[in-house]
Amino acid sequence: MLAEILDVLAPALERPGALYVDGTLGMGGHAEAVLERFPEASVVGIDRDAQALELAGERLARFGERFRGVHAVNTELADVLDGPADAMLFDLGVSSFQLDELERGFSYRADAPLDMRMDQSSAGQTAADVLNTYSQDGLERILRVYGEERYARKIAHAVVKEREKQAWTTSARLVEMLRSVIPSASQRQSGHPAKRTFQALRIEVNDELRGWENTVDTALDTLAVDGRLAVLSFHSLEDRITKQAFARACRSTAPAGLPVELPEHLPEFELLLRGASTPSATELEHNSRSASVKLRAVRRTRPKGSQS
């Protein structure tokens, strides 16, 4: 959805000296497109994955001082920026680069260590740690909430039972167990049996949802007047957080029954898209991983806390 994202952000990026913040830089594809299309814009790219940041930096080196890469979690957005941003993009979830690096353990299609840390330079817990140390109730909770897995209880019970025999270390054994626990009929209807469990583990390991709840509000606060924020979400939990945050930001604060809406009660933002935009059939042909993606965007209409 690159072309649509650029079109949505264009009015803010066409300003002289515009600042674009890529809150999930990845391999730098979106940042590169911005730098090419908007020659007066500069880019700050944030990523928690040091390896991805290094590769993106090499890709974008030709733009010189117009690009600055920052190794940080996007919850640190306010600390990274010196002032307001004109345009921002957050492409949430795991990147294609991370999925394709099989040794990272994000993919359930090859045997690999159960790591799943987006920032491997940190000492945070891995997916194996979660499987080996969480209680059965704790495992059931993350599978049900983060994976939206209907067989969460059965899977959690099986995980605990199996770890008593041998600690969890690699993905193939987990996939094999999931195939045996999840009914065959469900597997035929819902796709790969490991999809939801791997999603839940990744979200828990990287604290993605709690982090995004904090980040989206900071991003809104950081936008300049007429600035634009776009968000790409790949599953319903992220999209729900985004949708609710945007709805709050675009809502009038006028008390019910007030005959005239005072200036201080006017919304500070407006929605730029009707609902969420989804990929076209053409894009799905070229990128099957975009099947579940939703794009939402807002524009800041007036200064924060202003009275006119």
Among the three residues 188, 206, 224, which one is the final residue of a domain in this structure? 206
Q: List the CATH number of the domain containing 169.
A: 1.10.150.170
Looking at the domain assignment, is residue 308 inside a domain?
no
- Side chain identity at 213, as an amino acid letter? E
Check the annotation: does 28 bind a ligand.
Answer: yes
More confident residue, 108 or 37: 37
194 and 214 in one domain?
no
Domain count for the chain, please give it: 2
State residue 303's pLDDT score. 87
- Can you give the pLDDT at residue 167? 97
Kindly state whether residues 197 and 216 are assigned to the same domain.
Answer: no
59-85: pLDDT as tens digits: 999 999 999 999 998 889 999 998 899
Within a domain: residue 239? yes
Domain that residue 63 falls in: 2-91+208-300
202 and 251 in a common domain: no
198-210 pLDDT, tens per residue? 999 999 998 888 8
Query: What are the Cα distances from residue 43, in Å, to 18, 88, 170, 298?
Result: 9, 10, 38, 19
Is residue 220 in a domain? yes
35/68 same-domain check: yes
Is 286 annotated for ligand binding? no
Q: Which of 2-16, 220-234, 293-307 has the lowest mean pLDDT?
A: 293-307
- What distance in Å separates the CA atoms of residue 26 and residue 126, rounded to the nearest whole number? 20
Q: Which of 162, 185, 206 lies at the terminal end of a domain, its last residue?
A: 206
Q: Kindly state whether residues 87 and 217 are assigned to the same domain.
A: yes
Residue 257, in any domain of the structure: yes
User: Residue 284: its pLDDT value, please?
Assistant: 72
172 plus 117 within the same structural domain: yes
Is pLDDT of 176 > 80?
yes
Amino acid sitting at position 66: R
* Element holding 161 (H helix, E strand): helix 152-163
Q: Residue 233: in which H helix or E strand, if any?
A: strand 223-233
Please report, for the domain that includes residue 291, its CATH number: 3.40.50.150
Strand order across the 223-233 sheet? 67-71, 42-47, 19-22, 85-91, 223-233, 294-300, 269-271
Residue 170 within a domain: yes
Confidence class for position 99, pLDDT limits 50, 70, 90? low
111 annotated as a binding-site residue: no
Q: Which of 173, 206, 239 is the last residue of a domain?
A: 206
Q: What mean pLDDT, rounded, does the chain reach?
A: 88
78 with 223, same domain: the answer is yes
Task: Confirm whether 227 is domain-assigned.
Answer: yes
Q: What would the mean pLDDT of 232-253 be, rounded to a whole number?
A: 89
Cα separation, 297 vs 91, in Å, equals 12
Q: Is 92 exposed, middle or buried (0-12, 13-18, 19+ CB in 10 A)?
A: buried
pLDDT of residue 128: 95
- 235 and 279 together in one domain: yes
Q: Examine the domain organization and report whether 274 and 127 are in the same domain.
A: no
The answer as to whether 306 is a domain residue is no
Q: What percent of the chain has pLDDT over 70?
A: 88
Residue 82 annotated as lining a ligand binding site:
no
Any domain includes 16: yes
Measured CA to CA in angstroms, residue 251 lies from 80, 219, 265 at distances of 28, 17, 9
Which tens digits make up the pLDDT trace of 254-308?
Answer: 666 666 666 666 788 999 998 888 877 777 777 666 677 899 999 999 888 665 4
Q: Are residues 162 and 291 in the same domain?
A: no
Pair 84, 123 in one domain? no
| 29 belongs to an annotated ligand binding site | yes
Question: Does the annotation place 98 within a ligand binding site?
Answer: yes
